[in-house]
């Protein structure tokens, strides 16, 4: 029997424990059919970890990711306007997970305002305003630092173009605000242009971020890969999730050269937490990305087929996508669909 895959699991908080429990059940069931086994190393992070260990990110969690090289993560709440800084940002920076990869694609059978969407957001994941480097200069005056480097911009552009070439994607739009932030976004664009010149087989274009939002809503089909800095990518991701049915659906991967953390685009959704209302699809599709990443293609495909069957039948869906079923019923439906697929 093949060695079990050791995976660091961060269930997160809010809806995190509900969606991650569903996803672990489905991955385990798929693995049982394909011969893949998993060893889940569970860790708390954020407020829950602080209560237990007086650390927002326990050292043992860092060590676990270092050893396992791969983690599946539920959402973690970040307090607004104060409190501790983002666990997500800390993990991404610590492991240099420089590429945030977010494919946005319709699920079969699920009616949305925009059928046939198939675009990818490639977001720089370590710097920009999103790093949260802020300080109060004097009372009433605060400075937030937007750091953009040639190294990180070139690295993310290389990632996007390389992905496009290897996966037959045709077009990359660099998203920017270099008309106003001439130096920082200007540098980002210069790096993108430099890399684009070495990939003549991939069409390269540039759109200003505010116009991009309008263009996306008017005609998202013009986009293939959106290559963005960190903050624009964060905002555009939520916008794009609405094309395919919302935040309950869109997966993501934080990729570095050594480690990878797979997590949904959505947050901890405190408004629906603990009510069996959360849609586990986004985290499940993140797990599918993870399974491909660790070479478990057959297991990944088994889950994808089961998931698509549930959406195609449209009988057991969660409320966010127009159904009336809960997280656990949806999970059962995917398990049954995998069995009969």
Residues that bind ligand NAI (CB under 6 A): 15, 19, 75-78, 88, 247-248, 263, 266-272, 278-279, 282, 320
Q: Smallest gap, in angstroms, from Cβ of residue 190 to ligand NAI?
A: 30
State in angstroms the smallest separation of the CB of 15 from ligand NAI: 6
Q: How far is the CB of 86 from ligand NAI (least distance, A)?
A: 7
Nearest CB to ligand NAI, comparing residues 64 and 77: 77
**Residue whose Cβ sits closest to ligand NAI:** 267
Q: Using CA atoms, how far apart are residues 111 and 115, in angstroms rounded to an integer?
A: 7
Q: In this structure, are residues 275 and 82 in contact, taking their beta carbons and an 8 Å threshold?
A: no
Question: Diameter of the chain by CA atoms?
Answer: 65
Tokens of 46: 């954020």
Catalytic residue status for 201:
no
The nearest distance, CB 113 to ligand NAI, in angstroms, is: 17
Positive or negative, the Cα torsion across 154, 159, 160, 161?
positive
SS3 label, residue 307: helix
Q: What is the secondary structure of 144-210 as a DSSP string?
A: E-----HHHHHHHHHHHHHHHHHTT--EEEEEE-TTTSTTHHHHHHHHHHHHHTT-TTSEEEEEEHH
CA gap 159, 256 in Å, rounded: 10
Shorter beta-carbon distance to ligand NAI: residue 76 or 174: 76
Q: Which residues contact 299 (CB under 8 A, 6 or more apart)?
A: 27, 30, 31, 34, 36, 291
Q: Where are the alpha helices (DSSP H) in the chain?
A: 16-34, 47-53, 59-68, 87-94, 150-166, 184-196, 209-218, 230-241, 281-293, 297-313, 327-340
- Rank residues 11 and 267 by Cβ distance to ligand NAI and give the closer one: 267
Which CB, 224 or 276, lies closer to ligand NAI? 276
Q: Identify the active-site residue in 56, 163, 177, 232.
A: 177
130 is catalytic: yes
Least distance in Å: CB of 18 to ligand NAI? Answer: 9
Q: Are 227 and 162 in contact (CB under 8 A)?
A: no
Q: 20 with 71: CB under 8 angstroms?
A: no
Closer residue to ligand NAI in complex, CB, 85/222: 85
Spot the catalytic one: 56, 130, 163, 232.
Answer: 130
Beta carbon nearer to ligand NAI, 125 or 184? 125
Rg (CA), the chain: 20
- Least Cβ distance, residue 290 to ligand NAI (angstroms): 15
- Residue 221 has a CB neighbour count (10 Å cut-off) of 12
Residue reference for tokens 């995190």: 16
Minimum distance of ligand NAI from residue 267's CB (angstroms): 2
Strands 134-138 and 141-144: antiparallel
Residue closer to ligand NAI (CB basis): 304 or 327: 327
Q: Which of 210, 221, 275, 297 is catalytic?
A: 210
Catalytic residue (one of 234, 309, 311, 320): 234
Catalytically annotated residues: 130, 177, 210, 234
């Amino acid at each position: 029997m093949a060695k079990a895959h050791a995976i660091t699991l961060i269930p997160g908080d809010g809806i995190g424990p509900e969606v991650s429990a569903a996803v672990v059940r489905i991955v385990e069931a798929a693995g049982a059919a394909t011969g893949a086994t998993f060893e889940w190393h569970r860790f708390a992070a954020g407020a829950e970890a602080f209560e237990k260990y007086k650390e927002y990110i326990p050292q043992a969690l860092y060590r676990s990711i270092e050893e396992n090289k791969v983690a599946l993560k539920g959402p973690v709440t970040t307090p607004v306007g104060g409190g501790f800084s983002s666990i997500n940002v800390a993990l991404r920076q610590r492991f240099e997970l420089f590429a945030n990869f977010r494919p946005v694609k319709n699920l079969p059978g699920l009616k949305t305002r925009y059928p046939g969407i198939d675009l990818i957001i490639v977001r720089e994941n370590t710097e920009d305003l999103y790093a949260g480097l802020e300080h109060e200069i004097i009372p009433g005056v605060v400075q937030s630092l937007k750091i953009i480097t040639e190294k990180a911009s070139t690295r993310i552009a290389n990632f996007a173009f390389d992905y496009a070439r290897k996966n037959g994607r045709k077009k990359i739009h660099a998203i920017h605000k270099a008309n106003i932030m001439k130096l920082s976004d200007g540098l980002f664009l210069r790096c993108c242009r430099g890399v684009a010149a070495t990939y003549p087989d991939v069409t390269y274009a540039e759109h200003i971020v505010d116009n991009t939002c309008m263009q996306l809503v008017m005609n998202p089909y013009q986009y293939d890969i959106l290559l963005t800095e960190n903050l624009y990518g964060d905002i555009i991701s939520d916008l794009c999730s609405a094309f395919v049915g919302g935040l309950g659906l869109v997966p993501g991967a934080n990729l570095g050269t050594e480690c990878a953390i797979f997590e949904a685009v959505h947050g901890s959704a405190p408004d629906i937490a603990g009510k069996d209302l959360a849609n586990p699809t986004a985290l499940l599709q993140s797990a599918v990305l993870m399974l491909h990443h660790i070479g478990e293609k057959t297991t990944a495909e088994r889950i994808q087929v089961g998931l698509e069957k549930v959406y195609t039948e449209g009988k057991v869906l969660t409320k966010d996508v127009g159904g009336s079923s809960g997280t656990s019923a949806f999970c059962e439906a995917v398990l049954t669909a995998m069995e009969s697929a």
